[in-house]
Amino acid sequence: LTQQDLAGKTVLVTAGPTREPIDPARFLSNRSSGKMGYAIARAAFRRGAKVILVSGPTALTCPAGVKRLEVQTAQEMYETVLQHSEQADIIIKSAAVADYRPGEQAVHKVKKEEISPALSLVQNPDILLELGRRKKKGQLLIGFAAESRRLREEGEKKLKRKNLDLIAVNNISGENTGFESESNQLLLLSKSRVEQLPLTGKLHTADLLLDRICSL
Ligand code: PMT
């Protein structure tokens, strides 16, 4: 039987990409499949937590026992996460949120001959930064960082700037780690510790991450 070390805790997990519409047919997005975040939600539920999963569009089915709230855009994810963040003991932000969205969304499909080669973009709110500002005493805030170089330095910057307890740095340049793959390898950074996790399946990675969170 799985150890029930998250019994009585509410865990809020975000997963998947966001979609930023250009017109009724097109959007800006990224390669996130949601596999990492869904694995965390599944593992947290098995360890006894009440789990709320805020998910961008993915092809995955909701893990048994998990409450899923589906969103499309970064703005929707921002609102949904903030509505539920107060009740969470642990927040894990594995979603790949689009940093920018098109400044205007066309009501009708833009015709090929009308498309402007320049898309004007505006910045989306940084959900994790806002959660760091609002963090309550005793709440644990865990971020991810998708990086292709200088993993430790970039991770340390985000850990500090976003007021996190732990950051999982994800190497997205390898074939067996990061976006879409079944496996992953995370570098975990907290104020006092650096830990390189092994290359392993995403569900096992999720359990190793939760082991570390439980020890914080
Ligand atoms: O979904 P998979 O295919 O399984 O792939 C897993 C993954 C690579 C998507 C995942 O493990 C991962 O690395 N997620 C974080 C991706 C990301 O957006 O990283 P970032 O370095 O751009 O953002 C840093 C942190 O800030 C993240 O926790 C992100 O959720 C958060 N963020 C970023 C921008 C924004 N506007 N709001 C945010 O909350």
Check residue 163 and give its pLDDT: 97
Indicate the DSSP class of residue 73. Answer: S
Q: What values do phi and psi take at 84, rounded to 5?
A: -110, -5
Question: Which H or E run includes 200?
Answer: strand 200-201
**Known binder of ligand: residue 17?**
no
Residue pLDDT, tens place only, 82-139: 999 999 999 999 999 999 999 989 999 988 887 777 889 999 999 999 999 999 999 9
Instruction: For the domain made up of 10-214, give the CATH fold.
Output: Rossmann fold (3.40.50)
Q: What is the ipTM of this complex?
A: 0.98
How far CA 110 is from CA of 137, 148, 183, in Å, comes to 49, 34, 39
**Known binder of ligand: residue 126?**
yes
Residue pLDDT, tens place only, 48-59: 999 999 999 999
The strand ranges marked E within 9-151 are 10-15, 20-23, 26-28, 50-55, 67-70, 90-93, 100-102, 121-123, 140-147
User: How do the domains of the chain map onto residue ranges?
Assistant: 10-214
What are the residue numbers of the active site? Answer: 30
Region 64-82: mean pLDDT is: 98
Look at ligand 1, atom 14, and give the residue with the nearest C-alpha.
94
Region 144-170: mean pLDDT is: 97
Residue 179 pLDDT class (50, 70, 90 cuts): very high
